[in-house]
Amino acid sequence: MKWIDYARTCSVQEAVDLLKEGNARPLAGGTDILVNLRVRRFDIDTLVDVKDIPELNEITCDPSEGLTLGAAVPCYSIYTNEAVCAAYPGLIDSASLIGGTQIQGRASIGGNLCNAAPSADAVPALIALGAVANVAGPGGTRQVAVEDFCTAPGQTVLEEGELLVSLHMPPPAKGSGAQYMRFIPRNEMDIAVAGAGVSVEIDNGTFKSARIALASVAPTPLFVREAGDSLVGQPVNEESVRAASAIARDAAKPITDMRGTKEYRMHLCEVLTRRGLNIAIERAKENK
């Protein structure tokens, strides 16, 4: 590994100023970037530590405003927060399965998103929950829907000098439920062969809305709008769930690689979406 500079920043402005000088990257938990630097996936001169910026450490859960989650908040702070656990079990599914205990002490949801791995376990849950990214940069701030955030493996919409400040999720509606599920060959320490994040809103035995997103089956986390839309107005039953899961399967664009063949991964998308929807439906029934 070559010599690189490290800068600890305490404000969004300070971080933006350093980042716009070029060839620099933010460091949150470091559980992706340090690994990537060691295997030379990219070559930078400066690491800008953003963990100490107050806005990036915010975790505000409000019944009417929803959840604002600072980009650098580590997973363990999320799943030990009772309000978040009660309101966003779909997010907790992701936060509690990324890495093991040590990794969860550092790894952030913001880092998971900005790392832009197709397999990122938090991103389908964020998309299913309708999360929006708050971005700051030399030109001010802007909002980006999470499904539009990743553009290619390791690539995002962030321009030079821009920083993810926080993620915002709307308050969960009554009768809504969400779930994230991935498939891995082992029971721990593994990377998703496929994953599915789903959310549903149910009213009177009928789907009012639904969102479905997939992991590891396309160059970016994949929002399958049409799969969720297919449920709207449909009765909550096995048939509608199977139909939506089949749409998710057909939308997947996986490749054959060491983690599985294309056919197998598409098949898994159907299985995971179906199983996820069934759990989300149960959660929705409890969320009156």
Torsion of CA 157, 159, 165, 167, to 10 degrees: -10
Q: How many residues does the chain have?
A: 288
Q: How many CB atoms are located within 10 Å of the residue 109 CB?
A: 31
Torsion of CA 86, 170, 197, 279, to 10 degrees: 40
> Binder to ligand FAD among 84, 98, 196, 217 (CB under 6 A)?
98
**Is residue 26 close enough to count as binding ligand FAD by CB under 6 A?**
yes
Min CB(198)–ligand FAD separation in Å: 17
Q: According to CB under 6 A, which residues from 115 to 134 bind ligand FAD?
A: 115, 120-121
**Is residue 107 close enough to count as binding ligand FAD by CB under 6 A?**
yes
Min CB(108)–other proteins separation in Å: 20
Sequence-separated (6 or more) residues with CB below 8 Å from residue 206: 233, 234, 235, 236
Extended beta strands in the chain, E state: 5-8, 24-27, 46-49, 59-62, 66-70, 132-137, 140-145, 150-152, 155-156, 163-169, 176-183, 194-203, 206-215, 222-223
> Binder to ligand FAD among 18, 84, 91, 114 (CB under 6 A)?
114
Residue number closest to ligand FAD, CB atom: 111
**Is residue 105 close enough to count as binding ligand FAD by CB under 6 A?**
no
Closest CA to 191 of 132, 263, 117, 253: 117
Question: Which tokens go with 228?
Answer: 């969720």
**Is residue 50 close enough to count as binding ligand FAD by CB under 6 A?**
yes
| 94 within 8 A of 79, measured Cβ to Cβ | no
Min CB(187)–other proteins separation in Å: 4
Closest CB to ligand FAD among residues 46, 206:
46
**Is residue 30 close enough to count as binding ligand FAD by CB under 6 A?**
yes
Min CB(71)–ligand FAD separation in Å: 4
> Binder to ligand FAD among 9, 31, 245, 287 (CB under 6 A)?
31
Residues that bind ligand FAD (CB under 6 A): 25-33, 35, 50, 56, 71, 97-99, 103, 106-108, 110-112, 114-115, 120-121, 158, 163-164
